[in-house]
């Protein structure tokens, strides 16, 4: 179902079955408008996935929105997702409870470098699906791409010779990101051993489904969830987690804040500074661990 039609149906449900006032309906309408502004690639309910709420909560929080406003929007969207489940419009949207922010800016979940290594090594490389999953994970972690940017990645954006990815991000702003040799290696393996040998109905996008059509957000979410479970991660991991890991690990290894800001495509360096808090927290945690176990 088209996302606009689904939202319209939900708003009618709120108005006529729940008895909400015009003011409340207007608030909901504005929430949906903001949500779709963050995720312009969402065209139908098939493009929705469970991880969207966590990603949206983080993006709203670091944008400086008050905690009460963030929580209200997340609750409104979660209720919409429940409605889609009940009406059998879209299944699989409601999983673990969303952890609502308790601070004005809260810290996202980030994997340690050992955990990310475990996740990257989880795909079964003896299968075609595993080769694609490996390429997806490597490219995500190597470049810090947003979900929509990975899903929409095309051949024209990859400069293999210079080892660069060019992305048109939010606000139609272009940025260029280096891609690690390891990621490029598995991307080339996927293209030659999997993509080239399967059905191709989309010659524009890089990552395709088994049916030869380009992947969507839900497909990517399933890849992350499946491999996180396979390697036994007990943290809640979604596609945006690899973007957080990309930024945090770069800073842990001495990258300059401005350079990370440019690679992430953040307009304001203050947004990128959230990751310096993560690296500082790690130092404190390691110090506390040392004090308790020495």
Residue showing tokens 């065209």 = 43
Place of tokens 């690639």: 41
Single out the catalytic residue among 214, 243, 244, 249. 243
Put residue 124 in one of left, alpha, beta given phi > 0 → left and psi -120 to 50 → alpha.
beta
Q: Token digits for 77?
A: 């969207």
Q: What is the DSSP string of 67-100?
A: HHHHHHHHHHHHHHHHHHHHTTSS-S---SPP--
Q: Catalytic one among 73, 90, 146, 217? A: 146
Residue 173 annotated as catalytic? no
226 catalytically annotated? no
Q: Is 205 annotated in the active site? A: no
Catalytic, 15? Answer: no
Task: Order the strands of the 164-168 sheet from edge to edge.
Answer: 158-159, 164-168, 174-178
Which of 238, 240, 244, 249 does the annotation list as catalytic?
Answer: 240
Give the integer Cα–Cα distance in Å for 201 and 293: 58
C-alpha torsion sign, points 202, 39, 91, 229: positive
Selected catalytic residue, list 15, 163, 170, 213:
170
Task: Provide the 10 A C-beta neighbour count for residue 54.
Answer: 19
- Residues annotated as catalytic (active site), given as ranges: 146, 170, 240, 243, 266, 275
């Amino acid at each position: 179902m088209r996302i606009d039609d689904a939202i319209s149906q939900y708003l009618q449900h709120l108005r006529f079955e729940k008895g909400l006032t015009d003011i409340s309906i207007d608030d909901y309408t504005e929430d949906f408008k903001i949500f779709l502004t963050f995720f312009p690639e969402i065209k139908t309910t098939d493009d929705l996935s469970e991880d969207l709420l966590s990603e949206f909560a983080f993006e709203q929080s670091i944008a400086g929105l008050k905690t009460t406003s963030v929580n209200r929007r997340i609750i409104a969207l979660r209720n919409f997702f429940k409605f889609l489940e009940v009406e059998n419009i879209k299944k699989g949207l409601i999983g673990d409870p969303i952890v609502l922010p308790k601070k004005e800016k809260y810290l996202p979940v980030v994997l340690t470098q050992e955990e990310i290594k475990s996740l990257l090594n989880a795909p079964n490389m003896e299968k075609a699906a595993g080769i694609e999953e490996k390429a997806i994970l490597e490219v995500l972690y190597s470049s810090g791409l947003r979900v929509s940017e990975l899903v929409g990645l095309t051949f024209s954006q990859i400069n293999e010779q210079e080892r660069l990815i060019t992305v048109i991000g939010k606000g139609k702003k272009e940025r260029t990101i280096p891609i690690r040799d390891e990621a490029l290696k598995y991307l080339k393996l996927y293209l030659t051993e999997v993509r080239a040998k399967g059905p191709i109905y989309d010659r524009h996008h890089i990552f395709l489904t088994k049916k030869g059509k380009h992947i969507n957000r839900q497909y990517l979410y399933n890849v992350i969830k499946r491999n996180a479970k396979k390697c036994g991660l007990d943290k809640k991991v979604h596609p945006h987690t690899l973007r957080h890991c990309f930024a945090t690990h770069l800073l842990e290894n001495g990258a300059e804040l401005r350079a990370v800001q440019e690679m992430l495509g953040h307009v304001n360096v203050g947004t990128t500074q959230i990751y310096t808090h993560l690296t500082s927290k790690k130092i404190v945690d390691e110090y506390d661990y040392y004090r308790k176990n020495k």
